[in-house]
Structure 1
């Protein structure tokens, strides 16, 4: 399967590296990413792309399997991370999401099913986050230095799924994404995982509900802000200081015709307070509750349209805040959107997808006054070499966070046992981030980058190349499954 194209950027802003994870495809009960094969088949069938993942794959298995995937990098890339006890590290896009998109050295895969119920778990053996960036760009854990050095944060994928005739439900840990774009702006799949419960109906009108638990760990500075600051228009009981952070999201997808899907949704980040039905009722319009001080809501709209066989148009828009004519600007207007087209191609057994997409996120989107209400998915990496608890924040929405523009041209080719994926990109990244003091407009440098990446596989061998300014990085790996 193809990795999400939501890759990242380094502090000097070379961008994108997508590593081909596998040469052997292992089926699983859920589809969590849009591979070129998935997109091609939908376009050739003149079917609109789905508005939400994961969806059931229809695959069911029983037993245990293994995957071995050594992978090595070479080049002048210097990874950025910080070590220490509960230290906030550099944003993952500054490292191209390289660690997240590198396969583990070894995986044990457990799966089974009973009727409409299935379970799936991957137990990886991998290099740890900090050692990967500080010492050795490969997935080999340094057992010769410390027997407890491998990544101990697994599993990254572990879930149960009920796949019925009229609805499906998932509970556990997997990726989630909204929209049909390459670079989603509402919920993207750049995070290694979300801990979630998902319920979704089947039919021409599809209703989907997610409840996601996010790690509530805060740094000392963040806790000081969370426990003392009272936002504008907050209710009299602010601040809220329960150590809990929850993302609730629901949406309706209208499959108007087989080739046209329209989606409308809402996301609410709840923090400092345990969620209740007032905040997360599956059928309420959460924004109208105005739970100032412990919620932050966004609206989303997206579509996928295949006007003719092999050609697709898609777009997505999220609105965080809109300043009306009678409102002050203490919470400025904030939004993000993308728009793109795809074309399916084929000659003989060789098939491909050509795509062009533009995405934009304004300065203040995803951000707000309180740490618990920012749209980030926080993961704490526990590592023993070096001894640390590293906090890494993954964007819930656009892969590059706020204050960013991106134009990407992609060309994917594939046939049996062979694939080639190429991207040409233009990124403009401003100084505002989720760590910017809201609602301050930073005056730092705006970075502009042109670049290209190529990745692919031939049989059991996978490879990747990145060119961006003076930066170059090459990766080579091999995979076997049994």
Structure 2
């Protein structure tokens, strides 16, 4: 919908002498079965307890990621507006609650029960100013133009960002700046008045009262207790007809409010030697374009850059944490049969990828899903679900994955087919950092293996009606790193879509 809005804006601005502005109210209906791979248990454990009537559950990444990627709202009310190069979009969706979707065998996305409605805020609401050398975008959005593919290891994990994105294209030179506000929620952040600290062993204790042996290498007994977490992303490079190369520096700043020098886009490059509240990563992306429409590309992400290096001889510097992705993409457009494309990605992530000794320095975005699904009087009542989405690769650390996607598209029809061979060790984002740091290569501990096949066909019958049909299956071993979980499952992805624009004004 966002793409359609911007496309409409571009069409309107082609003839500024006639039409320079627009305002649209759109209604989208989508009723179907939106299944996908999930974890064998809905909640791994209880993440938070406050008294006897408040509880938060921790949801496995596999379940939450597929919920965000696959489930479509069954009704969306959208507002689009624009004047010349300025565009605005806000979507108000109704979709099924995470637990209600998980518990439904057919994974339907629609419901008539208020208790099964997702009550969380919209995930697409932003303003954007386009100009001749780029754009500025702010609000809540998914920065797809910064990703080489869905398996991007820099920014592939979060379903959306709350922030601002500035893109600058001058000739062959490229520059991107992204400032994103992350959720700084810490588990068990309740102060004991006798000790002045949260409960020992909790996340809040690790951030606010951590003994020296558990601090980051350049923290030097400092503690950072502010409930703040932000990410800064800078990308500078060149893009020519034959190749491109980008140098990337990103930083998570946690426990301390942003200072101008922490995110200044003109001074940031490797000149911010923060002492214990910044986790910096330096990365590179490069690619080559062939004359027949193919692209070869690679990303290398190097985490845990300690600056200044070696200032603490006792703690020393941790081993290198490096993540890799290599890929191939080919696109072929025919006159009579539409456009074909296929992509092959291989991803390898370190067991300690996105992790850190300090919770607010992890490369994660914690999502708090509020829920009305369970009755408050129930014995297993839960008020909220917590998911830690990795900022980097969407499946997290300790992975060695292969993805193959094929796509076909015409003016009214499209089809996608995905094959995936996914292997992952048992070092998760919740694993203690020093434990995750011990194995130096991916696939440590009990290795989970999945072979996944997924297909979807979609056809536009009229301007206001579409239908889609598809599904998939997987064969797995040691699912969720449990040696007793071997087997297979399948899912359905089929439904109908209706689209109406009751208000469509151009001026």
Please report the TM-score for the alignment, with normalisation by the length of structure 2: 0.78
Partner of 1:104: 73
1:238 to 219, 222, 225: 222
* Contact in 1 for aligned 2:134/2:169 (Cα 8 Å): yes
- State the 1:346 CA deviation: 4.3
Q: Which segments of structure 1 move beyond 6 Å, counting only runs of 4 or more?
A: 56-60, 74-79, 322-329
1:197 and 1:63, CA in 2 relative to 1: closer, same or farther beyond 3 A?
same
1:158 and 1:182, CA in 2 relative to 1: closer, same or farther beyond 3 A?
closer
* Contact in 2 for aligned 1:420/1:456 (Cα 8 Å): yes
Task: Between the two structures, name the one with larger relative contact order (CA 8 Å, sep ≥ 6).
Answer: 1
1:139 to 84, 106, 109: 109
- State the 1:448 CA deviation: 2.2
1:404 and 1:71 map into 2 onto residues whose CA distance is 32
* Contact in 1 for aligned 2:281/2:305 (Cα 8 Å): no
Partner of 2:203: 222
Structure exhibiting the larger radius of gyration computed from Cα positions = 2
Could you give the per-residue CA deviations for residues 323-365 of structure 1, whole angstroms, max 9, x where no partner exists? 9999876522101111111222345223211222211111112
Partner of 1:456: 457
**2:155 is the counterpart of 1:187:** yes
1:437 and 1:456 map into 2 onto residues whose CA distance is 43
1:127 and 1:167 map into 2 onto residues whose CA distance is 36
2:457 and 2:339 map into 1 onto residues whose CA distance is 14
1:233 and 1:279 map into 2 onto residues whose CA distance is 19
* Contact in 2 for aligned 1:28/1:59 (Cα 8 Å): no
1:306 and 1:76, CA in 2 relative to 1: closer, same or farther beyond 3 A?
closer
Partner of 2:133: 166
**2:435 is the counterpart of 1:467:** no
Please report the TM-score for the alignment, with normalisation by the length of structure 1: 0.82
**2:407 is the counterpart of 1:412:** yes
Partner of 2:93: 124
SS at match of 1:308: coil
Q: Structure 1 unaligned runs (5+)? A: 2-24, 32-55
Partner of 1:10: none
1:277 and 1:292, CA in 2 relative to 1: closer, same or farther beyond 3 A?
same
SS at match of 1:384: coil
1:411 and 1:76 map into 2 onto residues whose CA distance is 19
- State the 1:397 CA deviation: 0.6
2:359 and 2:310 map into 1 onto residues whose CA distance is 28
**2:30 is the counterpart of 1:29:** no
- State the 1:373 CA deviation: 0.6
Alignment RMSD:
2.8
- State the 1:428 CA deviation: 1.5
1:388 and 1:30, CA in 2 relative to 1: closer, same or farther beyond 3 A?
farther
* Contact in 2 for aligned 1:424/1:452 (Cα 8 Å): yes
- State the 1:103 CA deviation: 0.8
1:219 and 1:359, CA in 2 relative to 1: closer, same or farther beyond 3 A?
same
- State the 1:169 CA deviation: 0.8
2:342 to 337, 342, 354: 354
Counterparts in 2 of 1:363-442, with a 5 A limit? 363-386=351-374, 387-441=382-436
SS at match of 1:357: strand
SS at match of 1:436: coil
1:254 to 238, 241, 257: 238
**2:180 is the counterpart of 1:212:** yes
* Contact in 2 for aligned 1:181/1:339 (Cα 8 Å): no
Aligned length: 430
2:318 to 331, 334, 337: 331
- Tell which deviates more after alignment, 165-174 or 433-442: 433-442
